[in-house]
Amino acid sequence: MEGLFWLIMIVVMAIIEIITLGLTTIWFAGGALVAFIASLLGASTLMQWILFCIVSFILLIFTRPFAMKYLNHDKTRTNAESLIGREAIVIETIDNLKSEGVASVAGQEWTARAVDDTIIAKDTVVEIVEIKGVKLIVKVKEQK
């Protein structure tokens, strides 16, 4: 009966992972698989739960960062997120103290603020480092 519980747990965790694609529940499915194998080998219920917890924790802590880095690196950024790292041109001087500044990127005008509170002159090429609400957070583009 314990084996059936672990099989159901594996299936449920796998289904949740397929639906969410968050690379979180798959590690618990791995822990449930180890607990299932332990149940087949006659391990006690307590030992099965201990194995489930330890294996799930180890998989989550040690393999999730690797998986996130190498499996999600090709995700397509959408909308405003795709602007991060791109160049923009300042079309109205950026002065955080005065709450002024506009930059143009891909033909669109955005309210812009400097990342480090420096004043950035008109016609300066900047790099978009972040987007907060409807404002571009920029820094002066380093010359190569």
Q: How high does pLDDT run on average in the chain?
A: 87
Whether residues 85 and 65 fall in one domain: no
Alpha-helical regions (H) of the chain: 2-20, 25-40, 45-71
What's the whole-model pTM score? 0.49
- At 77-125, the pLDDT tens digits run 556 677 888 999 999 999 999 999 999 998 889 999 999 989 999 999 9
**What per-residue confidence (pLDDT) applies to 8?**
93
Backbone φ, ψ for residue 130 (5° rounding): -165, 160
CA distances from 78 to 4, 8, 55, 84 (A): 42, 36, 35, 11
Whether residues 64 and 100 fall in one domain: no
Who's near 136: CB < 8 A, 6+ residues apart?
Answer: 83, 88, 103, 105, 110, 111, 112, 113, 128, 130
Domain finish residue from 71, 91, 109? 71
Residue 111 and residue 136 in contact, taking contact as beta carbons nearer than 8 Å: yes
Whether residues 54 and 86 fall in one domain: no
**What per-residue confidence (pLDDT) applies to 71?**
64
Looking at residue 24, the DSSP 8-state letter turns out to be: S
* pLDDT over 80 (residue 30): yes
Whether residues 38 and 83 fall in one domain: no
Distance CA 26, CA 75 (A): 19
Closest CA to 97 of 70, 119, 79, 81: 119
CA distances from 117 to 94, 128, 135 (A): 9, 14, 14
Distance CA 83, CA 85 (A): 6
Whether residues 11 and 56 fall in one domain: yes
- At 35-82, the pLDDT tens digits run 999 999 999 999 999 999 999 999 888 887 776 676 655 555 556 677
**What per-residue confidence (pLDDT) applies to 103?**
95
Report the domain count for the chain. 2
Domain that holds residue 89: 79-140
CB atoms within 10 A of CB 94: 26
